[in-house]
Amino acid sequence: MTRGSTLPAHRLPHLSGRLAIPAQTRTSPVPLLHGFNTASADEARRVLLTCLHSPRWARRLADHRPYPTVDSLLAASDEAAYDLTPEDLAEALAAETLPALPDDAYEAAHMALSAAHSAYEARFGHLFVICLDGLPPSEALDHVLEGIRSRLANDPEEERVVAADELRRLAKGRLVGAVRGAGL
């Protein structure tokens, strides 16, 4: 039994042997993404590695270009970051740097943060990472110290998940900065 239209024959439009297909329009990429979408794969990966030092993540984002919007690029960034293997994560963490302290921080704050970083690195084998995007600079030190202290209580697997999420957030923020700063 073949299936046909559910409309009665007298209500079917006359198609004269051709099927009408609605015109599809494709919007052009956002101008912010033009440089990223048209850069060579090597150049795109080079810039992406400044956002997150994971060759697998960078290759995946570069290979899936063009992106129609910044939101689609950020969604792809998230998806690729969620797919990092423990080895990819270790490689990305090894390339991270410590969060910078505000210039006006007291010497005691530097000592407290240094001790906390040392304890964290001894426990988990990598630097402490935390995303401070959107946080006022005056609150950064307290946020970092609070984060280290609370995360020192995590078991290694739990901390791996938290660190991966912080790396993902850092990568997104850096990616937005690279796109907006014409680095891509």
pLDDT in tens, the chain (184 residues): 444 444 444 444 444 444 444 444 344 444 678 889 999 999 999 999 999 999 999 999 999 999 999 999 999 999 999 999 999 999 999 999 887 776 677 788 878 888 999 999 999 999 999 999 999 888 888 899 999 999 999 999 999 999 999 999 999 999 999 988 755 5
CA distance 45 to 60: 9
Residue given tokens 């950020």 in the structure block: 74
Residue 149, token pair as written in the block = 């202290």
pLDDT for position 25:
39
Residue given tokens 């270009």 in the structure block: 65
Q: Is the dihedral of CA 32, 35, 41, 44 positive or negative?
A: negative
pLDDT for position 5:
46
SS3 124: helix
CA distance 116 to 121: 9
Packing angle, helices 70-82 and 55-63, rounded to 10: 140
Instruction: Report the candidate in 101, 182, 85 with the shortest Cα–Cα distance to residue 140.
Output: 101
Which residues lie closer than 8 Å to 71 by C-beta, 6 or more apart?
none
Which residues lie closer than 8 Å to 175 by C-beta, 6 or more apart?
48, 51, 73, 74, 77
CB 184 within 8 A of CB 39: yes
pLDDT for position 31:
64
Going through 3-126 in order, the beta strands assigned E by DSSP cover none
